[in-house]
Chain A
Amino acid sequence: MSLWRNQLHGPTDPAKDAGWEDPPPRKGFFTDTSICIGCKACEVACKEWNQLPMDHLGMTGDSYDNTSALGASTWRHVAFVEQDAERVEQARESGRLLAEEGPAGGPATGPRTPVALGLPSLRPGLHRITEQDVSRAPATGLPLTGPGTHVDIGPEATDLEAAEMAARQAAVDGTLPDFRWLIASDVCKHCTHAGCLDVCPTGALFRTEFGTVVVQADVCNGCGYCVPACPFGVIERRDRPTDANGERLKTAVKNEGVAQKCTLCYDRLEIGAKPACAQACPTTSIQFGDLSEMRQRAEERVEALHTKGFTEARVYGGDELDGVGGTGSVFLLLDEPEVYGLPPDPRVTTADLPDIFRKAGFAAGSMLVGAAIAFLGARS
């Protein structure tokens, strides 16, 4: 059983486990939700590149989210949450605790002590972390000077510093709405231990040399087992889409009845290109690269935000000691995962599989013994 255990959970290199000899470094996403502006460019780029059919039309009334959820024809989903200050305080507190004590079950990172700031900017750490030099970016839409703002920006100040001061002043004046957005682009986690892949009976789901998880549409038989096996609710069997009136379309769509999800643009990766969503993201909220680097960037960015007092920031996924052996998609969140519709402590179901089989074995054994007794004890 120890052989089983090593394969079913815990830290590992999934590409090597899958039999790839000398695979390239594992690839992954880092989605930094703190700089997501909700433009949905990732959703559109993904649909375009992967030629995903329309899934449903209509308004949900759930803030700006009319996409609803990841699914067979939605491989990037931008979530929108509108929050007030009370909730921000709670998020700040829970994030601070998380930083002090470390992820439960994982190593503690220790309290983050505020340090003297270097280059002032509204988005600390951006210079180090993203590929764009934001300091020379055009001024944002916030009014920096003029009627209604009492901001005196010195000659040395950057636009971003001025914007931050304007925001602070507005808070003092009471002209700043008691409101913040949470905007996050969700995607398949490309788990180290992927429930979807483990349970697939046909081998349609496989592990690529990049450590990602991909469905082969021509092998999938549509059994749908992967759908309830994913702890994140990502993969889905593609049904015939409905039109705006909820009527099923007359014509079949591509890969109908087959399970579908993000491939981390396997075709683009093979020619050395970035996934379509990362390519399209205008703010570098979606970053792509070697997974180890993605994890490091996430840690650094959270640390930078904490030193600025934004203790609501936290890393989600990527922790080798979590229930799925670490995700291939790492996120920076600004509140508890469930607020974004993510599971707070995901666990791959097959981690328990040896024990599940053992219990079933006892039951099967009891059935045999019981039947034998039933025959031996019968008088007629």
Chain B
Amino acid sequence: MAGALKKTPHQLPWILLLAAILIALAAGTWGAVRKIDYAWRWNRVPQYFAYKGEEPVKIPFDGRVEEIAAQGAKASVRLVSEEGKTMTVSVNQDMLRVSEGDDLFMGDTVGFKQEWRLGPLMWGLWTTLWISGVASVLALVIGLLTGLCRISKNLTLRTLTALYIEFIRGTPLLVQIFIAYFFIGTVFNLNRNVAGVGALAIFAGAYVAEIVRAGIQSISRGQMEAARSLGMNGFQAMFHIILPQALKRILPPLAGQFISLIKDSSLVSVIAITDLTKSGREIITSTFATFEVWLTVAAMYLVVTSILSQLVFYLERRFAVSD
């Protein structure tokens, strides 16, 4: 409680200065955009989150419209085939294309069904999330194993992992993704998702390995000795004593790494994986709402990463009980 001794400084002028700077920034941006005469069309953006899609409902056999019953805005249509099979479909009342008693051939449209569908931004977000999620889990496994190898007594393991880490950290992720897709992917006939997730996992794994190594080495030697002196073998001591303590300590840098991974995953759009970034690009080609879409995409990344850091913050406090 060192702060309690100090007099609380006057915050108001600094708050005012902060507000002034933010307002100036906003005004400057606004002015600059005005100058280039950009027509904002924010109203076009929501449809890329979700939209109402129309889907034709077709009859799967030759048959007859037996009965049409209205159910609010929907109409439920009972169809009977020539063999006497019946089936009921539901379409929008105002998009009904048949009337009772009509004879229909297989594939004729009975009417249209309107439903909420997720737009490309949401699908892109989903792709980004699952790619990052799977890559994170793999990276954690890779990083844990290679981090342990990195400090093993075995020279071969140590050198191999050192080479791996050196190679990954010394080359750009974009290049690694190209290599994974165009070289390794071609040789082993991998699809783009496997290549993309693999490249991300191997990339992040190298950083996780270094974090794990540092975390394990930060645990005092006495912990390992105490565990061994009780008769535990190396694996038991690692599993019960060292790793739990190390993991708690490396949670913040690890979370930072996974947040980076979410952002880095935007690079897989170069091998035509339709993640959030690629969806944004595709939307722009059809709407030209460049500014709105990129700002929206940025905001979506920001939301995801801030939720994650809040979660980690919460976990850190939960774990702090034994300190």
Genuine A/B complex: no
